[in-house]
Structure 1
Amino acid sequence: MVSFTRIKEMIQVKLPDAEVFVKDLTGGGDHLEAVVVSTEFEGKTRVKQHQLVYAALEEDLASGAIHALALKTYTPQTWKAEGQPVGGKI
């Protein structure tokens, strides 16, 4: 099991401006959902956005510490369009 803080920190190493929200989907600590908001996603397809995040988490995904990850990625503009203020909580 990997801590939410570790996930957030690993993503922010690759995407320094990212806002990261993580939650446990099952209570077991290995099926997670991450919402990541970053300007680095601007102009990139959803697949490329997800690849950036998966690259940041590669070690824990490969080791099985993270078994399953539901991922939602947004630019600050698309996050705001969803009704969530940048700096807000989900």
Structure 2
Amino acid sequence: MPVSQTDLEIALKNVLNVSHLEITDTSSGCGENYSIVIVSASFEGKTTLARHRLVNELLKDQIAQMHAFSQKTYTPKQWSDLQAKEAADATMT
């Protein structure tokens, strides 16, 4: 049974304080492969591994139905720093 982007969004937003979320179906719409970028204050003070474990636990039922799942997790400060760096890099080219 395919997993919908809406199911993933609801599962994450119901538990985490999400300030930015990008969910990409990398399986051409069949719902078997997803890549997510999630920004949350809930990640403050946690290592990348701890963040990924938290997300994996929240989405364990959905991930069990997928072929592939990848995630990038950021705190709000890390996200704003990344956005500023990307903007600066874009003006240099």
Equivalent position of 2:81 in the other structure: 81
Structure 2, unpaired ranges of 5+: 85-93
Write the letter of the residue equivalent to 1:23: T
Structure 1 stretches of at least 4 aligned residues deviating more than 4 Å after TM superposition: none
* Corresponding residue SS for 1:10: helix
Quick check: which one's helix share is greater? Answer: 2
- TM-score (normalised: structure 1): 0.82
- TM-score (normalised: structure 2): 0.79
* Corresponding residue SS for 2:34: strand
- Asked if the contact 1:13–1:56 (Cα under 8 Å) also holds between the matched residues in 2, the reply is no
Select the structure of larger CA radius of gyration: 2
- Post-superposition CA distance 1:18-63 (Å, at most 9, x none): 132100113132111011100010110000001111111011122x
Tell me, in whole angstroms, the C-alpha distance in 1 between the residues paired with 2:35 and 2:14.
19
